[in-house]
Amino acid sequence: MNKWLLALLLVWPVTLWAQPAVTAKVVAAADPGLIRDCPDCPELMVIPAGQFLLGSPADEREVHVGSGEQPGLSVTMARPFAMGRYEITVAQFRAFSIAAQRLSHGDCRVTMGAGWTRLADRNWMHPEGEGSPAELEPVVCVSWDDAQAYVGWLSQLTGHHYRLPSETEWEYAARGGTVTARYFGDHDSDEASVLSVACDYANVYDASAVHDLHFSYPSARCSDHHTRQAPVGSYKSNAFDLFDMIGNVREWIQDCYTASYVGRPADARSWEWGGCEWRGVRGGSWATRPADSRSAARGFENQSMRQSDLGFRVVRDF
């Protein structure tokens, strides 16, 4: 039986922690499979309805204090939705920029030395280094507002409602029915591992990047031969056939950032309010330490921020 059928048909009766006992459950979607609305449109995978626990268990040792991952929240995803199989690529964003005649904005935060700095002449067409990014690499140096412009254009082009994923949609999709810290295992990429399997599934800060980037935090004990972003789909997918969910580039989500899950909708809706400037960011990147490349790990940025490890993927409503 292939991994897609397993993802749709199996129920994982795994108790996440003792208070209360919660299980992850995935039910079959009415129309499983792949969707693509136009030649330049992103490929979408139908994500089935189900239930899961948003966040991390109380004994998760890689959680940072104040991350908001604990306590978790039991969430019901009542309806299937379609999510981008890959992060939006340079080629896809270029098609939008040309069609919408959208100017390329600079002032992108890029690596310099062992840290980051904002440069006015860096943008999605020229984020890092001397050359241009490959067409199949995920687009970076795009703000939350840039991502909103893209999904608005895509909605108008196709007649379907495209948007950024909510925080619950993103984590549910990233987990792919699993309850472990990562969809490929529990602590398989923690920094104490003698040999990590993270490089098979995710582009994180690893031995390939240490020589060039010199970040002060630990790297994964493996090498994927990519210092920065890799072409989308270069690593193994999760059980929903989604790629790069906790590696390659970080991803904007729709939600305003909150310090915890207290009070948020226990369903697929995003949590927003007027005047919010700080937006949630999910997934690890080529610059992320292994401990922070987990399904439940959270982050945030000002919605105007452009950074060379930050992109997005899309969701389409039925």
- Kindly report, residue by residue over 289-299, the tens digit of the pLDDT: 998 999 999 99
| CB-based contact 55:261 (threshold 8 Å) | yes
> 30 pLDDT exceeds 60?
no
Domain ranges of the chain: 1-318
Single-letter code of the amino acid located at 182: R
> 230 pLDDT exceeds 80?
yes
Tokens at 95, concatenated: 């098609």
Integer angstrom CA distances of residue 252 from 20, 146, 260:
31, 10, 18
How deeply is 17 buried, as exposed, middle or buried, from its count of CB atoms within 10 A (0-12, 13-18, 19+)?
middle
pLDDT at 195: 66
**131 confidence band (pLDDT: 50, 70, 90):** confident
What are the tens digits of pLDDT across the range 132-191?
A: 899 999 999 999 999 999 999 999 999 999 999 999 999 999 999 999 999 998 766 656
Angstrom distance (rounded) from CA 62 to CA 46: 31
pLDDT at 103: 81
pLDDT at 188: 64
Mean per-residue pLDDT for 35-53? 95
Angle of helix 144-158 versus helix 90-100 axis, rounded to 10: 70
Mean per-residue pLDDT for 270-281? 95
| CB-based contact 42:88 (threshold 8 Å) | yes
> 27 pLDDT exceeds 80?
no
Q: Which DSSP string corresponds to 206-237? A: BHHHHHHH--SS--BSS--S-SS---TT-S--
3-state class of 292 per DSSP? helix
Number of neighbours of residue 115 by Cβ within 10 angstroms: 11
Q: Which DSSP string corresponds to 56-108? A: --TT-TTPPTTSS--S-EEEEE-S-EEEESSPPBHHHHHHHHHHHTPPPP--E
Tokens at 261, concatenated: 């899950």
pLDDT: which is higher, 103 or 265: 265
pLDDT at 3: 42
**22 confidence band (pLDDT: 50, 70, 90):** very low
In the chain, % of residues over pLDDT 70: 87
Mean per-residue pLDDT for 10-16? 32
Closest CA to 144 of 276, 282, 305: 305
> 24 pLDDT exceeds 70?
no
Angstrom distance (rounded) from CA 3 to CA 11: 13
| CATH number of this structure's domain 1-318 | 3.90.1580.10
What are the tens digits of pLDDT across the range 89-124?
A: 999 999 999 999 988 778 999 999 889 999 999 999
